[in-house]
Structure 1
Amino acid sequence: MTARISVSVQANDFDTGAELAALRDDPAVGAIASFIGTVRDINAGADVSALTLEHYPGMTEKALEEIAAQAGERWPIDAVRIIHRVGALRPRDQIVLVAVSGRHRREVFDACAFVMDYLKTEAPFWKKEVTPEGERWVEARDEDEAARARWEHGE
């Protein structure tokens, strides 16, 4: 079985409920796992009043599709839905939705975590925060690399 993959990179917000409901279109689906990332008002010890996300159109979507396809190769899942926002965002705004559907919970939990871990380290997004000290680019975090690396070592 090949997982259905749907990827969107967009400036507009998304309706989480509608997105999850769309993954229940197959009566064989027994589980849906999801992750929603939001903008925090503090990062690395500084107040954050805004976040701007940039990307390379076309390249970003392809990278997300490849990550979702890898999840579909590793686990027997039915569908992967990824929505990632770009542009100017404020604290509490939704940034990303990763949702996975399948027959059983273990596969969808693992696939959802895998997709998010790879998205954080492999997807071509650049983040710039606005703080009281000015604008700054957000660097990759060691914890994100460690989370991705665990999948490469058989977990």
Structure 2
Amino acid sequence: MKIGITADHAGFEKKEELKKLLKEHSYTFEDFGAFTFDANDDYSDIIIPLAKAISEGKIKKGIAICGSGVGVSIAANKFPGVRATLITENYSAHQGVEHDDMNLMCLGGRVIGSALIWELTETFLQANFQNEERFQRRLNKVLEIEKNNFKEIN
């Protein structure tokens, strides 16, 4: 599984640390930026390439880091098929995937430390959607909401 990662200036340092750990643990990933620290970049611009890749099915799971994780979460959820969630603890890192088919974990580089980021990353990446009837039924309802709302907008 190919993973996508991205960060703005507030998450840049944590993303670079995460890249090293992903390499050490033999994960395949693509860095969608930022590629250099720029104190004036915006999370809304940084999330676009990764969110598009997830929306188009090119990336199965992604990790986005901004200051709080809130901005990238809001922006990413504007793309069809992206189910981005701010994660701050371990239970939601796996439950969001298992029950809700979350495909983009959003983290706050200014509010959680490197050790917790790695723990959440491992949990998120190891989790799989539990294709039980109740979870699929709920996901189908969410997908229908998305389909109807995107149809109205476009």
**Normalising by the residue count of structure 2, what TM-score does the alignment of the two structures yield?**
0.29
**Bigger radius of gyration:** 1
**Normalising by the residue count of structure 1, what TM-score does the alignment of the two structures yield?**
0.29
More strand by share: 1
More helix by share: 2
